[in-house]
Homo-oligomer: A and B are copies of this chain.
Amino acid sequence: MIQLNETHNPDLKSWVTSANDSATDFPIQNLPFAIFRRKGEHDMFRAGVAIGDQIVDLSAAYQAGIFDAALAPVLETLTEPTLNEFMALGQGAWSSFRAALSKALSDGASEASALASCLVAQSTVEYSVPAKIGDYTDFYTSINHATNVGKLFRPDNPLLPNYQWVPIGYHGRSSSIEVSGHSFHRPHGQLKAPDAEQPVLAPCKRLDYELEVGIYIGSENQLGHPVKLADAEAHVFGLCLFNDWSARDIQAWEYQPLGPFLSKSFASTVSPWIVTMEALAPYRQAWTRPADHPQPLPYLDSADNRNTGAVDMKLEVLIQTASMKAGGLPPERLALSNFSQSYWTIAQMVAHHSVNGCNLKPGDFFGSGTQSGTTSDSVGALLEATVGGREPITLANGEKRAFLEDGDTVILQGWCDSEVAPRIGFGDATATVLPAIDY
């Protein structure tokens, strides 16, 4: 059941004036969390909430005693260098703190002057991955993506028989998840041309991005105790942007029979900010299946899930090549997609993941899988946009791309808006491809 409260009031304004700009990602209705420190500080990573172009330094706010004493145990978790302890507190604590913070940041709040001294300009900070991610699972929830990729690998049988029944997912690698702003080297791996007798070790030639939504688990379930669909969203802390960089040539050779491995574990990029599920309440939509598709099994089906299971979250991927940067050209949009088209909801992912008793822990992370629409300007990976590299795209400056080249920067952005609620954004998830190292 999705409920709105005073923190969602579209008329709410903040005394932080930059938060009232209609173009900001971070109006007072958003209040996403990150882990940050001032550039140049060492070992001082701590939690903050975005408001306009500022960050509320929650450690400073805790030390200044700005919030009600009843919230002290909550604020204490926010002085940690990851959000895991805060996530573990559960929905009640998240919601109480959001209400208090919204009130304190509202126009005319009595806390304004004390809290103003706890603001840090976003332009002066650096971020870290906001949680210690224990386990990371990548789902595959876009039927358009699954169909497009399936056509390339299995032209006669693009969508496997289990796809419409099982929220397909696989375990991913958490150690190589980095926060927006990093660079990584083009990975080496075994490549085998279709007509070659044997593979060679070489730098990947078919490097790709994947436009995904990241999902952070908050409160845990005990091993052996599944989370039912009705309880599933209460276990979810919030969403971010996620680029699951993929080496398509390494993937094609390695992935059978146990799935992707080194094609995905060299780098993944998260946005710094986590937008809470509560902040996303005004942008929820009905979730439907085409009438001629199988409907979900009972453990994955409920009226709530059908009525409000989807999230109307716009997703954009942009590129800025080395020559665009050199020429002062801004990033160029490659695709615009929407998470609302996901074939499975967040609650279904949680319920399915734990139906075998698997325990989900605070800070665990799901990727939604590449979110692709049905048109070439809405697909979330170059593999799809270029039909397996056979039809390179042409950028506005005349450059062509079948796959990514060294020096390319890829930027993911995301936002929600509606006729009755303000625009809230996710910041961005950006990273740059460096040349392969000598091996």
Q: Within the complex, what minimum Cβ distance (angstroms) separates A267 from chain B?
A: 8
Whether A135 lies near B175 (C-beta < 8 A) is yes
> A230 at interface (Cβ–Cβ under 8 A)?
no
> Assuming the A-B contacts A198-B165, A297-B190, are A356 and B265 also in contact, with contact meaning beta carbons closer than 8 angstroms in the complex?
yes
Q: Within the complex, what minimum Cβ distance (angstroms) separates A171 from chain B?
A: 4
- For A400-439 the 0/1 string (1 means CB < 8 A from B) is 0000000000000000000000000000000000000101
Q: Within the complex, what minimum Cβ distance (angstroms) separates A291 from chain B?
A: 16
> A172 at interface (Cβ–Cβ under 8 A)?
yes
CA distance A256 to B258 in the complex (A): 8
Some 18 contacts from A to B, beta carbons below 8 A apart, are: A134-B174, A135-B175, A162-B253, A162-B256, A166-B254, A168-B261, A171-B171, A175-B361, A176-B223, A223-B267, A247-B356, A257-B259, A262-B352, A262-B356, A262-B358, A265-B356, A265-B358, A266-B358
> A65 at interface (Cβ–Cβ under 8 A)?
no
> A224 at interface (Cβ–Cβ under 8 A)?
yes
Whether B259 lies near A224 (C-beta < 8 A) is no
Whether A262 lies near B353 (C-beta < 8 A) is yes
Q: Which of B223, B258, B265, B294 touches A175 (beta carbons < 8 Å)?
A: B223
Which residues of chain B come closer than 8 Å to A355, judged between CB atoms?
Answer: 187-189, 201, 262, 439
Whether A297 lies near B259 (C-beta < 8 A) is no
Which residues of chain B come closer than 8 Å to A140, judged between CB atoms?
Answer: 258
**Measuring CB to CB, which residues of chain A are less than 8 angstroms from any residue of chain B?**
134-135, 137-138, 140, 150, 153, 160, 162, 165-166, 168-176, 178, 184-185, 187-190, 192, 198-201, 223-226, 247, 250, 253-263, 265-267, 294, 297-299, 352-353, 355-361, 364, 437, 439
Closest chain B residue, CB of each to CB of A204: B356
Interface centre among A176, A250, A299, A357, by most chain B C-beta atoms within 10 angstroms, is A357
CA distance A84 to B151 in the complex (A): 45
Closest chain B residue, CB of each to CB of A154: B257
Interface centre among A176, A178, A262, by most chain B C-beta atoms within 10 angstroms, is A262
Which residues of chain B come closer than 8 Å to A192, judged between CB atoms?
Answer: 162, 165
Whether A176 lies near B359 (C-beta < 8 A) is yes
CA distance A226 to B266 in the complex (A): 10
Whether B200 lies near A258 (C-beta < 8 A) is no
Please name 16 further chain A to chain B contacts, defined as beta carbons within 8 Å, in addition to the given A137-B173, A170-B258, sorted by A numbering: A150-B257, A165-B198, A168-B254, A168-B261, A169-B261, A175-B361, A176-B223, A176-B358, A187-B355, A188-B355, A190-B297, A198-B294, A258-B260, A262-B355, A266-B356, A266-B357
Which residues of chain B come closer than 8 Å to A439, judged between CB atoms?
Answer: 226, 299, 355
> Assuming the A-B contacts A176-B358, A358-B175, A361-B175, are A259 and B262 also in contact, with contact meaning beta carbons closer than 8 angstroms in the complex?
no
> Assuming the A-B contacts A170-B259, A254-B168, A259-B258, are A175 and B134 also in contact, with contact meaning beta carbons closer than 8 angstroms in the complex?
yes
> Assuming the A-B contacts A134-B175, A135-B173, are A162 and B357 also in contact, with contact meaning beta carbons closer than 8 angstroms in the complex?
no
Whether B171 lies near A173 (C-beta < 8 A) is yes
Which residues of chain B come closer than 8 Å to A247, judged between CB atoms?
Answer: 356
Which residues of chain B come closer than 8 Å to A223, judged between CB atoms?
Answer: 175-176, 178, 184, 267
CA distance A224 to B437 in the complex (A): 8
Whether A185 lies near B357 (C-beta < 8 A) is yes
For the complex of A and B, list the 10 residue pairs with the smallest distance between their C-beta atoms, beginning with the closest. A259-B259, A187-B356, A170-B258, A171-B171, A266-B356, A265-B358, A258-B259, A262-B356, A266-B357, A175-B359
CA distance A330 to B171 in the complex (A): 37
Q: Within the complex, what minimum Cβ distance (angstroms) separates A161 from chain B?
A: 8
CA distance A142 to B60 in the complex (A): 55
